[in-house]
Structure 1
Amino acid sequence: MTLGESTMLTLQALGIAAYFLSILFLAGMMRGRVAGRKRRGIIFIPPLVVCLILLMSITEVCRCMTRDVVPSAFEKIAEKISTPFCIGAEFVMTILWGVLWLRQELNIIGRLTPQSLEDGLNSMPDGVAFVSSKGIPLLVNSTMQMVFRESMGSPFFDLRDFEYSMQNQTLIVGCSADVHGKGYYLHLIDGSVWDIQKSLMMIEGRKVWELLAYDVTERYRKSLELEERNEHLAEVNRSIRNYTREMNAIIREEEVLAAKIRIHDDVGRALLALKSYLIRGGDREALIEMWQFTAGLLRGENTPDDSADPIGALKEAADAVGVRLILNGEIPKKLRKLIAIAIHECLTNTVKHADGSELTVDITDEDGIVTAVFTNDGKPPEGEISESGGLKSLRSTVEQFRGEMEIASHPGFMLTIRVSGKE
């Protein structure tokens, strides 16, 4: 069956198919030219010519059938073309177009072309723009276009206007820019931060400005956190320095106070020894030697002997004032200073207030809790004992050791100290 014998509906379908095939082959040629592959686009010309011939033949046959005209020589030839041949040719042309189009796309993807370069730049997460020395945009990728539009409110990229707005803070409301080295930190409304950098390039002897925009939102946030942390550390360092200065002052004051206490203790022992000598008599030479040493302390000529055993010194002091010092139990090394201070205070009270001749110290250790009980054989106190002076200072010292102190006045004087003896 020829085209001249086909129905009008068949001819219309064949004509429409030939028309669309012609458009597809023409689109393939244009695609090659746009992608910079002009020579590759030439392969679409032969099948395009075939499709146009088929379209013209079908059109002439249709014109001859719808109008009562004498067929021309071309129309007579077109009427004799086989309809199956026409259908087969269009089918082959369709497959051929698909193969040629696919090969062309694979070739474009596999090779660097202006189109592939533009697609690659647009797929980048960073903004890129190239501008001539006269301010004419040569290439602006989609990310840079978005950054410009969000900060300037205009779709038309202008490098000079963009830079002026960042310098003078004339961006749209909600956006701002901070100077960062030779560039800027651009803050957009959505909270993102972009590092904008500009540099001059020479391409084929022409000056071209390159503008880059990096998304540094996370890095900027971490830098702010680091600055806050550094400020906090600086404040801590200042506090530590102030604390160190205060501690040094306190230590100096404590050293001065300790020296005063040692001198006070030595003077107190000398006075007690003098009182005992006047009442009971004793070794006059030892008393004179003690007072000479005490006078040297007051004049600054002598210094207290801190290396000596305080308990041994207290026993000597007790003997000097006529008091027998009885120690029951073992004194832990870490508590010798505290026990010595307590013995000194109780020894003073024994001589000064109780007029006693014996001071007993019972020390026990139960599950790491050391208990020291101080008693004397002197007169019992008259009424409740008021903590002042030495006793008040002793309680403060016990509390520094995280211990407890109790004082009883009936039936006789008894002072109890409980402190943890664990290291």
Structure 2
Amino acid sequence: MWIGEAAERIRHQYALRTAVKEALDTLPAAVCYFNSSGSVKLCNAVMYRLFRKMAQSDLQSYQELKSALDGCDSSTGIVRDGNVFLFPDGSVWKYSEAPVKTEYGKIYIETVFIDVTELYERRQELKRQSKELKKMYEELKNLSDHMKEAAREQEILNMKSRLHDQMNLGVTAIRQMLRSGTASSENSAAVVQFRRAIQVLQEENSCPQDGLTEFIHDAAVSGIHVKITGQMPKERETLELFLKIMREACVNAARHADATKLFVEVEHGQGWHMLRVTNDGKPPEEAAAPRGGLADLERLVVKEDGRMEICWHPSFVLTVRLPDCVGVRL
């Protein structure tokens, strides 16, 4: 009788072991348990297949598994990255192990490989994107440094332009003084032009301080009466550029045309501003390409997507058209 009971227990244990084995084989992970001596106690099919790829043999002991893990290198085609293993077929597995104690006090070693192929690929993609972002950051930093340098050069150009304007008006005023025999009080006013030029060199603030009132006063000292029709633009950048153009036109009118009056017309439309400057002096003898200050101003106008036109006959007329977004371009 006891033989039958023993046989039943053996069949029951075998059925239980078979059921556990079949359940393990359905897992997508590779799982293997080793007893205290290092022999395989329970191992699923995924672990057997994975180990055969690593060692080209069947898994028999814990020591064989450890040797296979330690032996992964370029010659086997399996790349190890810490506890992550990259197989030649493109799959990526993460290995872990831990001791497991049963209710009867027996200790087994649980070893597990988990398929982390998708996670690994995402991680690699994140690394690639991070590298690209770092490169973009460096490029943006270099661009920012170049923009700062460009801004500094523009500030120097603004200061030189102001000095050029003041010196030209000063020279023109002195020339008018010598030609017309003006009074000593007017002579002193002419000298003020040169003092202003020196002040420009001494100013720490590089932003232009020229205003419309100051321009009219400077022109009057040079013997030029300015008549303005229309409203000057309210946008600071557009106003400063118009003033530069008016100053250059004033200097040229006094120097080349012996003018006494400068006529300025300002118009505005939907998205644009227009400046037209002429004088009462003698007309040019022939047309000529813009030179010196006019050429520099034309480059500034074109840079702002504007247009500058010069009419030489029957009288000199300078026309500038600018969009209403001057100064916002990189």
Q: TM-score range by the shorter chain?
A: 0.7 to 0.9
* Structure index of larger Rg: 1
Task: Classify the secondary structure of the residue corresponding to 1:365.
Answer: strand
8 A Cα contact 1:132 1:208, kept in partner: yes
User: Identity of aligned pairs, percent?
Assistant: 25
Q: How many angstroms apart in 2 are the aligned matches of 1:270 and 1:355?
A: 15
Assess, with a 3 A threshold, how the Cα gap between structure 1 residues 303 and 114 changes in structure 2: closer, same or farther. closer
Please name the residue that 2:91 is paired with. Answer: 192
User: How many Å separate the matches in 1 of 2:94 and 2:212?
Assistant: 74
Gaps of 5+ in 2: 1-5
2:3 is matched with which residue?
none
Does residue 117 (structure 1) correspond to residue 16 (structure 2)? The answer is no
Contact between 2:159 and 2:200, CA under 8 Å: does it hold in 1? no
- 1:4-403 to structure 2, matched below 5 A, reads 33-36=10-13, 113-169=16-72, 175-180=77-82, 183=83, 185-201=84-100, 208-280=108-180, 281-282=182-183, 283-298=186-201, 300=202, 308=209, 310-334=211-235, 335-403=238-306
For residue 376 of structure 1, report the CA deviation from its aligned partner.
Answer: 1.6
SS in structure 2 at match of 1:380: coil
> When the two structures are superposed, what TM-score results if normalisation uses the length of structure 2?
0.84
How far apart are 1:316 and its partner, in Å? 0.8
Aligned length: 315
- Which residue identity lines up with residue 51 of structure 2 in the other structure? F
User: 1:259-314: CA deviations, max 9, x gaps?
Assistant: 2222222222211211111122251232233333434545x3x5679575522211
> 1:128, 1:210 within 8 Å by CA — same for their partners in 2?
yes
Amino acid across the alignment from 2:114: Y
**Cα–Cα, structure 1 residues 399 and 234, in superposed 2: closer, same or farther, change >3 Å?**
same
Does the 8 Å CA contact 2:21/2:43 hold for their aligned counterparts?
Answer: no
Determine the C-alpha separation between the residues in 1 that align with 2:97 and 2:177.
Answer: 98
Distance 1:171 1:383 in 2: 82
Query: What SS does structure 2 have at the residue aligned with 1:218?
Result: helix
Paired residues of 1:269 and 1:317 also in contact (CA < 8 A): yes
Change (3 A) 1:278 1:177: same
Check conservation: 1:194, 1:215, Cα contact below 8 A. Answer: yes
Task: Look up the match of 1:47.
Answer: none
Return the letter of the residue paired with 2:93: W
Worse overlay, 275-284 or 389-398: 275-284
Deviant stretches of 4+, over 6 Å:
29-32
Counterpart CA distance in 2 for 1:327 and 1:253 is: 32
Task: Assess, with a 3 A threshold, how the Cα gap between structure 1 residues 143 and 303 changes in structure 2: closer, same or farther.
Answer: closer
1:145 Cα deviation after fit: 1.5
Q: Which has the higher contact order (CA 8 A, sep 6+)?
A: 2
- Whole-angstrom distance in 2 between the partners of 1:254 and 1:138: 80
Is the 1:371–1:419 contact (alpha carbons within 8 Å) kept by the matching residues of 2?
yes
Deviations 1:167-196 (A, max 9, x none): 3335886x412222xx2x222333211112
- C-alpha separation between the residues in 1 aligned to 2:146 and 2:271? 34
- Residue by residue over 1:99-145, the C-alpha shift from the partner in whole angstroms, topping out at 9 and shown as x without a partner, is xxxxxxxxx7xxxx433322222221111112235432121112211
Separation in structure 2 between the aligned mates of residue 257 and residue 241 of structure 1, nearest angstrom:
24
Q: Deviations over 1:191-210 (max 9, x none)?
A: 21111223345566666432
2:134 alignment partner, SS class: helix
CA contact under 8 A between 1:130 and 1:139: conserved in structure 2? yes
Confirm or deny: 8 A CA contact 2:257 2:282 kept in the other structure. yes
Partners in 1 of 2:43 and 2:74 — Cα distance?
20
Which whole-Å CA distance do the structure 2 matches of 1:31 and 1:170 have between them?
Answer: 49
Asked if the contact 1:369–1:421 (Cα under 8 Å) also holds between the matched residues in 2, the reply is yes
Normalised by the length of structure 1, the TM-score is: 0.67
Contact residue 165 and residue 171 of structure 1 kept, 8 A: no
Report the CA distance shift for 1:160/1:179 in structure 2 as closer, same or farther (over 3 A): farther
